[in-house]
Structure 1
């Protein structure tokens, strides 16, 4: 069976990636800070799908936590076939109002962590084959503080890596959802419905993951789930950046 490693697997899109990959018969390595949440998810998936689930509790913001996951991804005796870089968090305030150390941790989880894990995965996958999925965001196409900047980097790096390493049998896909019903916004202290976004602007996690996995299987460099957000991305290419940045202030994607 293929083996998939998913970061940020304890909730939200990460847990949904775990459920859908498990349903397809993949064995899993689930990674997050909370061992208790991971063990509960692992027990659920083992019972429902009869698969093997390895729990790896690690904080990717710390050097020790990062190294433990890099070591697992680099293990050629127990290889990873699918890497899902999903771990992340948002910050509730504007850049100038946030604590700079929080911003540095934010940068590490959204840029340094996927970069290090991609480097480790490519070292083990090239020639053997594999798939890397980087969970980015529609925010990466819009100018909005450091979250957008991080996701823009991830999208651009994924485009390049997919073109560069597909010849070695490794595809890289940036999955770019819009507003999605998960706990992401609640963890920033924002109550549901306080984003100023109408109901039609929200996506469901199962749909996002299903489309992302489908596009990754096709070798697409960028996946934008849903027609409505494909239209949003198309508009960002023609509208002035000042206008899109102003619209983006209404909420966080």
Structure 2
């Protein structure tokens, strides 16, 4: 744990020398949604590869950059690309950037992802506010010795996703005459898409959407006392709901179609946070 603490400190110190102001809000952008970073004013881009101890993103649609700047007069930092357990990283490495964001002063975090719709009422292109999650990854990033400076040994997860931030998102959507879906996100290990039987299981357990990310980051963010808003972009119907094969290209295409609405909503949400 002391080694992790040292890596966080060294990475944060490196970043602080590169930026002009401390960010208030952090964003972790999922597959195909990194375009939001292009709208940051006075942007300062730091490639992951230049940051000490920072993991490297290996998935298409994840650029691998930290982008600092302003959006609607709020100082933000965006992870343009995230890390997944299926890439071979340990849970502590997947979530190391969240610890670094906390060390930089972030207290509010927006996490986005591309997800498969398990709820039969969901359509491709819907945006879902995550109200809760089911960790079906078989991993927890807090396993091992607990560092008291990071958070308490047994963190409460009864409000993993901030009700306050969800209400802000709902108000913003209402002003824009848009209706978010609201639902439960199930995180699976991947990298295979779910089988029809696994999708039926997810539905029985109460999931509305499934994906391969987000949950480790949210656990660590809550452990660190950060407020979290989660948004899933429903990029496909999960296996068994449609008689067709699933592909990453389909996910990216759906994310491309929803970008204009996604951008408009998130920009205003940031303004209201």
Shorter-chain TM-score: what band?
A: 0.3 to 0.5
Higher strand share: 2
Higher helix share: 1
